[in-house]
Amino acid sequence: MRSLIKILTTLLILSLFACDGPRAPEWTLGKSTLYPSEAYLLGVGLDRDRTRAEDRARAEIAKIFQVEIQSRETIVESHWLSQVGEPAITEYSQSVQAELTAITDKVLEGVHIAEVWQNEKTGDHYVLAVLDRLRTSRALRDDLNEIDQMVAGQVRQAQAARSPLRQLGHYLQALKSMERRRGIAADLRVTDPGGWVVEPPYLLADIAERADSAAAGIRIGIELAGDRQGIVNGALVRALAGIGMQLAPSLERNLLVKGTVSVERYRTEEPWQWSVASAQVQFVEGDGTVLDALRTSVREGSRIATRSETLARERLGEKLAALLVARIGSLGAANK
C-alpha cells in the first residue's frame, strides 16, 4: 500500500512539472553566471518573433549608452560660433551630436547574441545580447590614444604656424578632437567597471585660451561694394569682434573680406514685405592667398519694407562671420 502511494505521489509531481514546462534560464531575468556583469553588459529581449527579440536585446544595451549621448553638450568650436550667430551654433551642435552618436554606434557593433531560449508553452523568444567590457574598453582606449596624439600634433602645428589664422585653424581642430574624445571617454566609463580614463595631454580650457589668443592676433579689413549704410559691414565687424578679431587699417591687415552685396525685395500676401540679401565674397590672407570664395544669401521679412532689408543685411553679416570661422577651422584639417 505504501509503495502504491509513493508511486502515485511521484507521478503527481512529474505531472505538475510537465504542466509547468521547461524552466526558463536564469539570464532571462537579466543576470547570468556565464556572463557576469563585471565582464559583460547584458540586454534581454522578448518577443514572439525571434528577429524582433534580438533587436530588442541589442536595444537594451544601446539604452545604457543613449543616456550618455543625451547628456553630452557641445563645448568646443561653439565657444566661437555661438558668438557669431544662432544658426551657426545650431548647425554645429547638430553635426557634433551626429558624430558622437556615430561613435557610440561603432561601439555597439561589438554586441553579439549569446543565448536564445523559446518558451514552448507561450511561443515567446527570449534573447540575451552581450557586450564584452574588456575587449570594448581596450578598443576605446586605443581610440583615445590616437586622438591624444592628434591633439598634441595640432598644438605643435599651431605653435609652429606663422600666421594667427593658421594658428587658430589648428587650435579649432584640436578642440573638435577634444569633443570627440569626450564622447569616447563617456562610453569608456560605461564599459569599464572601474570607470578609469587617462587624462588628455592638454586641458580643454588651455587650448581654448590659446585659440582666443590666436583670434586676437587676426587683423581684418572689409571691402564690400553695395553695402548701403555699411549694415553688413557693421554686423560682420560686431560678430568677429565678439570672438576677439579686430578691424585694422590696410597696412596691418592679415585678413581681407572683399566682395559685393545686393538686396532684392518682393511681396507676398499683405502685410509682409520680404528681402533677400546676397553676398559674393572672398576671404583673402595678408599674403594674397584666397582662403575661400563663396556666394551666400539670407531672407528676412517685416511689415515694413525698409526694416526687412535692414534685417536681411544684418543677418547676412552674421552669416559671413560664421562662414569665415568655419573656413579658418578647416585650415587645421587641411594641414594635418
Residue 84's pLDDT band, with cuts at 50, 70 and 90, is: low
Please state, in angstroms and rounded to a whole number, the distance separating the CA atoms of residues 100 and 51.
Answer: 27
The predicted model gives 165-194 an average pLDDT of 88
pTM: 0.75
83 pLDDT above the threshold of 70: no
pLDDT over 70 for what percent of the chain? 79
Give the E-state strand segments of 208-330 in sequence order.
219-225, 246-247, 255-267, 273-285, 290-302
Who wins on pLDDT, 7 or 174? 174
Top pLDDT among 214 and 94 is at 214
**In the chain, where the domains are located:** 135-215, 218-329
Domain 218-329 has CATH 1.10.760.10: no
Question: Tens of pLDDT along 214-227?
Answer: 988 889 899 999 99
What percent of the chain is modeled with pLDDT above 90?
37
Q: Is the pLDDT confidence value at 6 over 50?
A: no
- Per-residue pLDDT, averaged over 290-314, amounts to 88
What is the tens place of the pLDDT at every residue in 115-159?
999 999 999 999 999 999 999 999 999 999 999 999 999 999 999
**Burial environment of residue 294 by CB neighbours within 10 A (0 to 12, 13 to 18, 19 or more):** middle
Residue 49 C-alpha cell reads as 518573433
What span, in angstroms and rounded, lies between the C-alpha atoms of 111 and 190?
14
Render 301-318 in DSSP notation, one character per residue: EESSHHHHHHHHHHHHHH
Question: How far is Cα 81 from Cα 213, in angstroms, rounded to an integer?
Answer: 16
Question: According to the model, what pLDDT value does residue 87 have?
Answer: 56
pLDDT at residue 7, rounded to an integer? 41
Q: Give the per-residue pLDDT at 98.
A: 64
